[in-house]
Chain A
Amino acid sequence: MNINRRSFIKSMALKSAVAAAAALFPGISFGAWKEADFPSGMIQWKKTPCRFCGTGCGLLAGISGDRAVAVKGDPNCSVNKGLCCVKGYHSIQILYGKDRFKDALVRKNGKLVKVPVQEALDLVADKMKENIKDHGKDSVAIYGSGQWSIADGYTASKLFKGCIGTNNVEANARLCMASAVTGFMTSFGLDEPMGCYDDIDHADVFITWGNNMAEMHPVLFSRMLANRKSKKHVKIIDFATRTTRSSQASDKSILFRPQTDLAVANAICYEIIKNKWVNWNFVKKHVSFHKGKTNIGYGTQDHFKFKDKAETVDLNKYKAFLQDYTPEKVEKISGVSAKDIKYMASLYGAPDKKVTSFWCMGMNQHTRGTWINNLVYNIHLLVGKISTPGNSPFSLTGQPSACGTVREVGTLTHKLPHGVVMKEKDRKMAAKIWNVPVEKIDPKPTYHTVEMFRALDRGDIRFMWIQVTNPMVTMPNLKRYREGAKKDGRFLVVSEIYPTPTSDVADVVLPSALWIEREGFFGNSERRTQHNEQIVPMPGNTMCNTWQLIEVARRLGFKKQFPWSRETYIEDIWNEYTRFHDSPKHRMAPYKVLKARPGVQWPFVNGMETKWRYNPKYDPAAKGDDFDFYGKPDNRAWIWLRPYEPAAESPDSEYPFWLNTGRVLEHWHTGSMTRRVPILHKAVPASYVEINSDDAANLGITNGSRVKITSRRGSIVMIASIDGRGRPPRGMVFVPFFDEKYLINEVTLDAFCPISKQPDYKKCAVKLERA
């Protein structure tokens, strides 16, 4: 058996290499490679979406007995066509870390001690009741995740918004996708991309905006490379603030100063108009022009409020607005040469080129995140390159169900599964489906994520349940929020799989079942819903997050609203949830269809998936003969006049460097799972600070030496990386945030986009010293 198992693992290793090579070099052949034939019955393969990023790769998990022993890409999944990245290939190992939570823990005399799960759930329900009685319904909150399964988020929203009556529901997707949502809503009136990953196979030009896809979305990056390999004219332009692996693989790397992407996007539009590259047929028929408020602030004070107001303007006003953004003027702001700005404009403007723009955290974690999303849509709308194969402005997601759970289910303070709490008809729909009185659903949103943690610090919130996320690593300006969470009179419940800095401050830890240990659904970046069945048993006393919520809901007296049996509750929840989306604009696939396929794209109408929205050729909800932007009341997509405004905090004489934070290929977000996979941990065992070699030389810092990074909020000592995989320009440092030993968010700033309320983790001012 050992010999067989070893041979099997070696065969998997070789298969992985073949798949990776095939993605990078389409048509590659290996004459000496013969696929090993293993005895049937040794391994059973079961489909599941990957647990990690928002790409939504289809995997096949190999099961032997009760244990997952292997993983490979699902060749039937159109997302990855059999390919995986290094995290995907090691994904099953996240199930088997040695320090997995398998029992409930309750803090007694300052220490977390084991208790029966039912006792812990009793305590959670009692504390909720006590706080609601003593401090009101808005003193309790739930903070979830873009890694929540759809059923988790739906159950949380129903319990908190429908039954308890508080809008204190947020999720960590506020930290990663909120600007994409408000960008879509303000430009198109409906959330989520119009295009899909098939755009990668059709595009002639790819422009990535502050997006290191080679590390963050490696499978999609491989598809881009494969397209370029098969068609010699295809170009990849990396437009970013630092040089990365994506820059190295691109045809051209263009660096801009942080925050000035706003100015460059406007300059591209200026050039498109000046050179008569505008698609006037499209613009006259399908676009309207609008202006919003300016000098909108940064949200760094408690109780910050902002509401934008749209004013309709005409084309002449838009042209006049763009006069401030000639390439020559913008060169001075951005550091991007006028020549390069004109080159990018010419790519967007060329009538015979299909252009896809990709972005992720660089544009979304931005104090003008909504604006920069609007501005990239402006470019595509001016040239009419949208909603057709290969022409796609595409916001990629970072988490496996940021779209499916947070954006579609609506686990944000202002949202409902359909619509928003502020609208009566949306509240009525929710009340009817949830079987609660409509008055129970509060019409006023409460706290977005940053303000929710501020409220916990202030004592306005006193009970918080955190599921599937690690805010004591990820919150910006972290010290304030960690100290706040530890104050007397606060009660924290953490549903987790491994110990984290967040479970360290918990009063109750509920041991969660993970990924293929339970049934669930994710929703990826391209509107694809993906189902996984329970493939392996739950270890110890772990429990599915959805079921934890149901258990507590029943203890709070809401048995009528949560009547489902343990055998069928995931299917029952799906059937109830999809009643919210029963229209051609957002119809979801039935449970049986999702169970059978490696994902289905919504709207799913008359048995057909929708690949490109707003185009009647592909979208059953679109009317007319070419495009129909049905999300907006004027049936048009909106071009916005959004100016360049500086970052909340910029380098100065005291703090002369930009601090930029982000991720690395091998680790998933805060590393609570991937650091427990030996091979991934060994590949990148600790975080580090990337420093430009000239800056390092000036400061006397050498590769591997210790550096103290200090901002107005805190400081940290880390190891320097000079000319490593990422190279920042002079005046910038970059730190990956995956390592809880180096809490870089004690240094970052909690400024956010006033429209989306998404914090900017890419820009604050720091100083460096040798340590």
Chain B
Amino acid sequence: MQVFFQTIVGGLSIGAIYALVAMGFSLVYRTMGLVNFAHGNVVMIGAYVASTFYMTTQLPFAVSMVIAIVVTGLIGVVIEWVLRPLENRDFDLMLIGTIGFGIVLEALATIIWGATGRAVPSPVPAEPLNLLGIRVRTYNLVVLGIAAVAMILLMLFLQRTKRGSAMQAVAMDYEAATAVGIHVGRSNAIAFAIGAGLAALAGGLVGPLLYVSPAMGGTLGIKGFAAAILGGFGSIPGAIVGGLAIGLLDGFAAGQFQGYSEVVVFLVFTALIMIRPTGIFGERTVNRA
């Protein structure tokens, strides 16, 4: 029982990271039709920047996060600017272009921080917390808490504020949005900034959970992308549910199948997506042949 609940908490906290990554994917995709495959690598850069400032200059964790968000935001702007001619036109080429950016980011990280990677110490006490007789890692709860706050804030922003509604409108029909006086360019820029911010947040949070290395972006990106598809590409609640689902699947597969967990995760994902290609909440915007 103890193991079971620990697996659930562990799975949910890594799932919350996947959910943040998936939200970044979905938000950017629905507003500007950009499938950003480099998002996982942006997360990796975020993790490195946050941990570098946190570990070497002794800045508070929160301040390091803010710096990371600024850096990832700038990277996001560059990617969007280069690939703008392909937006809403050729998904396949755009996908490949962002893979190219992913390769660049991974090489950059290797050049700056070296190929070996680093372990990031937890910003909260390491001893486990006793919750109703179940011992859980304190940091897992921190991750869950911060991710939940970020998700709620994002949902409130999209649904309750004027700017958020404007972004929703752009997502549905950008021509009509322009016609009613919404500044589409600004709206897209905000969406991209939020997406990059989510990436940095995910990167900063994942540091103490996983080993930070240039290669981590690939795994995080693929699983985050899988989470977004599983939930329904472009849907924010879908990203959350999909992320948590992949995280739980990850946790239990690791417990049950050890080394083969990746095999199991991706086979199950393939089977699920074959059964329901539009995901749990259904795809938002754009059509597929």
Q: Do A and B come from one complex?
A: no
Which A positions have Cβ atoms within 8 angstroms of B? none
